[in-house]
Structure 1
Amino acid sequence: MSSDTDHRPAPPAGAAEIIGRLTGPGGRFELSDAEVLGSRLPVFTHRQRALHEVLHASVAHADREYIVTADRRITFAEHAAQVASLAKVLREEYGIGRGDRVAIAAANSPEWILTFWATVSVGAVAVGFNAWWSAREMAHGIDNAQPALVVADARQSAKLADCAVPVLSVENDIGRLAASHPDAPLPSADVAEDDPAVILYTSGTSGRPKGAVHTHRNLLAVVEYHRLNDALFEEFGDPVASQDRVYLLTLPLFHIASLHNLAVPRLATGSRIALHQGSFNVDAVLSMVERERVTNWGAVPTMAHRMLEHGGADRYDTSSLTSFSLASAPSSTAFKERLRQGLPFAKDSLVDSYGLTETCTGVAAASAQELAAAPGTLGRPVTGVQLEIRDPAGEVLGEGEEGEVWVRSQFNMLGYWRDPEATAGAIGPDRWLRTGDLGELREGRLFLSSRRSDLIIRGGENVYPAEIETVLVEHPDVRECLVMGVPHPDLGQEVAAVVVLAAGSTVTEETLQEYAANALAYFKVPKQWRLTHEELPRNATGKVIRNQVRV
């Protein structure tokens, strides 16, 4: 799941007419068919063509605040000047230009956002590494992305000891370089709309993370989608002007929820980002909501669960929060009802959505009213998205029939970086993306029945068993293994492993856990183990029957 943190209460009757006027011929957000990568797709007619255009336009917001943290406040004008300085350094000192990759391996910070804008504004590609990756995973990211430069915080820098690529420190270098050329001109680049702009990694079904490539077109389409949302709610009399909304950023910037659907569009709309840094802390986050008068927040279910357990939400003034969305992981209707009962701001503002890293934004969205009318729905396809349910042969299914969710839009990724086989497996003829998720459409609303086959979603982080199994079977005492998700009251799911040991092995859980921790991000390391000498159950073709395996 994905959240764009911008689903406010449902529009009144007559919304379809207004949307039609805004997106129809001559409308401010007119949609028209255009050639995109060999297919005819509906695109926003009046769109920007390169991300540096968003940066240039942002100086009009001048002294308004773009990013605020617990102890810093950065205006749009200050941000633009710092990006210009950093971009000059990237170009002149490191030779970064069109198509070069700049990897960002760091936890959330203003420096992360500065580096992103400086990178894409010179035509280079910003590569978001997971800030919790192990040294092994970092090495894979370097090998796959082949960056010309890495920007890393202290934690991830320590895992780059053998890296042959130049590394800049978030803590010591970025701020200094962003102030070193205060009069530098704003950067721009001669790029095509379908040139890569961002690579974000999604856990790999085949054992290694895959880099989803997003283009300038993709991100700028997301910007227009958010501008359209703002325009709609202004039409419906939203009492808070779009530029006065404040967006709480608590999810990692290497996810589409925070980067594509928050940091990028808010530079375009003049809205403020309240950036929480460090691990999730209920009191710190709710204090920020109160202090900054936050209006929009997209949280993962684990965060919402911890707020319920904390039980002190009513001690803070959260009356400004009018849109609270769940992101990155599925949540039950019962859990949503607990949130409405237990969190003051969730009663009338709780919304949900569906999307993937590969789709750049939510491709279906459910308002609070939609959730009340059809509990369990993920809403209707958003403007510009075509969504179908298909059978294994690719034939479109009818009302209420379960099949795989296919989506097609200007938001869909270009493909997987340096992985044509995986790209061909995901993107079919005419740019249709096969999500791997099973669902059905009822009265135009999407209902999801299961996520990608064996996917584990732990606290909002996608974990594919194959990636962990690939690591474990390299251990000399492991003959074979199977990794699965098991229910967890706080995280939603936890990672568990059943390991078939080599004959005579006496290896312990502790040894295997330590071994896995040296190769995997902490959230992928199994917390539950069953060590056995019995073979895993298999079908007639030799494939493990996963649903017969228990921890």
Structure 2
Amino acid sequence: MTRTVPPQSDADRVMAEHTGPGGRFEIVEEEVLGTRMRVIKNRTRAVGDLLTDAEAWGDRDYIVTLDRRISFAEQVASARALAAALSEQYGIGQGDRVAILSANNPEWVTAFWASQALGAITVGLNGWWVPREVEYGLRHSTPAVVIVDAKRAAVLADVDTADAHVLTVEDDVPRLISAFAGRTPPPADIQEDDPSVILFTSGTTGRPKGVLHSHRNLLAVVDHHRLIDVKIAAHAGRRPDPASPSDLRYLLTSPLFHIASLHNLVVPRLATGSTVVMHQGAFDVDAVLTLVERERVTNWGAVPTMASRLLEHDGLEKYDLSSLTTFALASAPSSVAFKDRLRERIPFARHAISDSYGLTECSTAIAVAGPADLARHPGTLGRPIMTVELEIRGPDGIRVPDGEEGEVCTRSPFVMIRYWNDAEATSRAITADRWLRTGDHGAVEDGVLRLTGRRSDLILRGGENIYPTEIEQALDEHPAVTECAVIGVQHSDLGQEVAAVIVTAPGAAVTDDELRDFAAARLSYFKVPTRWRFTTGPLPRNATGKLIRTKIIA
């Protein structure tokens, strides 16, 4: 009988073979931006070079939507044609910005690869922004070209686009690809620490910052995912071969202007020969599961709000979801109780849930917890991924002992170059020796990361530091609570008191006294909310599912 899950020692041996001396992913120490850190020795140096490598995958599916199939060969040809058009007709070259303001579609992906082929900087603008926010993003990044879909073109009518050329997804992009078919863009002399992409932070506590990622950053993410594929093969009892195309099929449901979809899905899957199954339009459970069934999707990275919709949906049993082997929760916190509900009610989630911790500034996850990790350490977020250094530091910037809480700090080849045109914010976030101060607080115990919350969310009650996440996860265990948010509100004596906004489950009846007693059995007295508000409407969240606490009214 074929062994499907090798002993951990076997998987460890395979990983050591690939990352050790002489291995495909040999890890060495080199200087990066003036600081020594761990990197993959044998690596690609320019993102655009992945297009040439992808020619080997030929007619295999790269992007699949409800009504389109685009092979790797077609994607490479289209990207090169559009790159030639951008160069010859609009003068785009190395370092110029090409902004994309659009819903998810294959043209978004083509525009990304075209700009990378030229050594230009792709600017992913938030497709949910209103005109004022769009104008800020354009003014901040000063693109030479803006590629926009029809819906966002209407938004641009009320925006000063300065001297940028505006090209439409529906008309201009296909026209240019057709007109320049067979042409190749001029070569670009790219160094791996040159800028590649600008994506914007969530902006939940202020104006979004433009995070500038280098070619090194994105290509380090690619190697991270290549190594994950090796690990998956090893655990399945197969001999890993990074040079062969992967048969994994990944569902894309998050916006392309976010690292979860762009850096950690679209980019690495071009390199690994895997298929990206792209859902378009607003999230709809039936539409998404229809794609999963039809395309035999194996991997899905979802934000918790999407997973919550699955819990609320009747009729999951009518879909064949047996192909799904990995169900990753990311981009926003999710409680132990929430994960347990997923395992109880959704068959494919039973042994497939993984979780991770990352942020835009880091290009990918800092730490990852697989199903076995979550079983051993519920409520944690796993161990640092390859080449990542992780420290918990106190207010003085000194590392604290294991088990003590402090600010999560990290250093790796994944960390951004800087914030675009914001030296002050960069100096606050990145130390002289390239450690990123995340602004999140947590602890490391037995090598495993546990988060407690963001420093900016901290509630100061009578001298006690209170992080909302702990309280929210405790309240989330109550069956009447669909979701909740905890914030600090002014108090004349204590400075702040703890307030909770509760979204109740359909048909559920619960009182503040009942929830107060429920919380008191699980939390210290000073963490128990003293003010309550109940609602049936959803909490305000951004495009990646994170709570916008500034819009929550207690």
**Fold agreement, TM-score > 0.5:** yes
The amino acid of 1:319's aligned partner reads S
Other-structure match for 1:181:
180
1:186-245 CA deviation, whole Å, 9 max, x = no partner? 664211111110000003477311000000000001001111111222233357986111
- Counterpart Cα distance in 1 of 2:37 and 2:284: 43
Q: Secondary structure in 1 aligned to 2:387?
A: coil
User: What is the CA-CA distance between 1:453 and the residue it aligns to?
Assistant: 2.0
- Counterpart Cα distance in 2 of 1:238 and 1:279: 38
**Against the structure 1 CA distance between its residues 328 and 488, is the aligned structure 2 distance closer, same or farther, given a 3 Å change threshold?**
farther
- Counterpart Cα distance in 2 of 1:329 and 1:344: 22
User: What is the CA-CA distance between 1:113 and the residue it aligns to?
Assistant: 0.3
Q: Secondary structure in 1 aligned to 2:381?
A: coil
User: What is the CA-CA distance between 1:485 and the residue it aligns to?
Assistant: 8.8
**Against the structure 1 CA distance between its residues 187 and 265, is the aligned structure 2 distance closer, same or farther, given a 3 Å change threshold?**
farther
Matched, 1:41 2:44: no
Check the 8 A contact 1:246/1:293 in 2, yes or no. yes
Check the 8 A contact 1:10/1:369 in 2, yes or no. no
Other-structure match for 2:202:
203
Matched, 1:245 2:243: no
- Counterpart Cα distance in 2 of 1:37 and 1:283: 47
- Counterpart Cα distance in 2 of 1:485 and 1:191: 51
Alignment RMSD: 2.7
Other-structure match for 1:259:
262
How high is the sequence identity, in percent, across the aligned residues?
A: 55
The amino acid of 2:264's aligned partner reads N
Check the 8 A contact 2:83/2:184 in 1, yes or no. no
- Counterpart Cα distance in 1 of 2:122 and 2:258: 13
**Against the structure 1 CA distance between its residues 206 and 332, is the aligned structure 2 distance closer, same or farther, given a 3 Å change threshold?**
closer
Specify every segment of 5 or more residues in structure 1 that has no aligned partner in the other structure, as ranges. 1-7, 466-483, 491-515, 517-522, 530-550
Structure 1 segment 123-272 matched on structure 2, within 5 A = 123-161=119-157, 162-164=160-162, 165-185=164-184, 188-204=187-203, 207-237=206-236, 243-272=246-275
Q: Secondary structure in 2 aligned to 1:179?
A: helix
Q: Secondary structure in 1 aligned to 2:155?
A: coil
The amino acid of 2:214's aligned partner reads T
- Counterpart Cα distance in 2 of 1:11 and 1:275: 35
- Counterpart Cα distance in 2 of 1:124 and 1:11: 46
Other-structure match for 1:23:
19
Q: Secondary structure in 1 aligned to 2:151?
A: helix
More divergent stretch after superposition (231-240 vs 279-288):
231-240
Other-structure match for 1:419:
422
Other-structure match for 1:501:
none
Check the 8 A contact 2:6/2:234 in 1, yes or no. no
Out of 293, 298, 302, the position equivalent to 1:299 is 302
User: What is the CA-CA distance between 1:525 and the residue it aligns to?
Assistant: 11
Structure 1 segment 132-531 matched on structure 2, within 5 A = 132-161=128-157, 162-164=160-162, 165-185=164-184, 188-204=187-203, 207-237=206-236, 243-454=246-457, 486-488=501-503
**Against the structure 1 CA distance between its residues 486 and 143, is the aligned structure 2 distance closer, same or farther, given a 3 Å change threshold?**
farther
- Counterpart Cα distance in 2 of 1:242 and 1:332: 36
Q: Secondary structure in 2 aligned to 1:387?
A: strand
Check the 8 A contact 2:27/2:41 in 1, yes or no. yes
Q: Secondary structure in 2 aligned to 1:328?
A: coil
User: What is the CA-CA distance between 1:21 and the residue it aligns to?
Assistant: 2.1
**Against the structure 1 CA distance between its residues 326 and 99, is the aligned structure 2 distance closer, same or farther, given a 3 Å change threshold?**
same
- Counterpart Cα distance in 1 of 2:143 and 2:76: 24
**Against the structure 1 CA distance between its residues 9 and 17, is the aligned structure 2 distance closer, same or farther, given a 3 Å change threshold?**
closer
- Counterpart Cα distance in 2 of 1:346 and 1:204: 31
Other-structure match for 2:515:
none
Q: Secondary structure in 2 aligned to 1:453?
A: helix
- Counterpart Cα distance in 2 of 1:206 and 1:354: 19
**Against the structure 1 CA distance between its residues 187 and 15, is the aligned structure 2 distance closer, same or farther, given a 3 Å change threshold?**
farther
- Counterpart Cα distance in 1 of 2:190 and 2:446: 41
Out of 48, 68, 75, the position equivalent to 1:52 is 48
The amino acid of 1:172's aligned partner reads D
The amino acid of 1:360's aligned partner reads S
The amino acid of 2:86's aligned partner reads L
The amino acid of 2:117's aligned partner reads S
Check the 8 A contact 1:81/1:186 in 2, yes or no. no
Check the 8 A contact 2:442/2:451 in 1, yes or no. yes
**Against the structure 1 CA distance between its residues 10 and 82, is the aligned structure 2 distance closer, same or farther, given a 3 Å change threshold?**
farther
1:119-145 CA deviation, whole Å, 9 max, x = no partner? 011000000000010110011111100
Specify every segment of 5 or more residues in structure 2 that has no aligned partner in the other structure, as ranges. 459-467, 473-484, 488-498, 506-539, 541-546
More divergent stretch after superposition (438-447 vs 155-164):
155-164
Check the 8 A contact 2:87/2:185 in 1, yes or no. no
- Counterpart Cα distance in 1 of 2:356 and 2:327: 11
- Counterpart Cα distance in 2 of 1:528 and 1:186: 49
**Against the structure 1 CA distance between its residues 433 and 296, is the aligned structure 2 distance closer, same or farther, given a 3 Å change threshold?**
same
Q: Secondary structure in 2 aligned to 1:410?
A: coil
Check the 8 A contact 1:103/1:129 in 2, yes or no. yes
Question: Does 1 or 2 have the higher relative contact order (CA < 8 Å, sep 6+)?
Answer: 1
- Counterpart Cα distance in 1 of 2:549 and 2:14: 49
- Counterpart Cα distance in 2 of 1:346 and 1:448: 23
Q: TM-score, normalised to structure 1's length?
A: 0.81
Q: TM-score, normalised to structure 2's length?
A: 0.81
1:130-175 CA deviation, whole Å, 9 max, x = no partner? 0010110011111100111101112222222232221111122112
- Counterpart Cα distance in 2 of 1:308 and 1:188: 50
**Against the structure 1 CA distance between its residues 489 and 202, is the aligned structure 2 distance closer, same or farther, given a 3 Å change threshold?**
farther
- Counterpart Cα distance in 2 of 1:257 and 1:342: 25
Matched, 1:62 2:61: no
User: What is the CA-CA distance between 1:487 and the residue it aligns to?
Assistant: 4.6
- Count matched residues: 472
**Against the structure 1 CA distance between its residues 216 and 420, is the aligned structure 2 distance closer, same or farther, given a 3 Å change threshold?**
same
- Counterpart Cα distance in 1 of 2:313 and 2:331: 22
1:276-302 CA deviation, whole Å, 9 max, x = no partner? 000000000000000000000000111
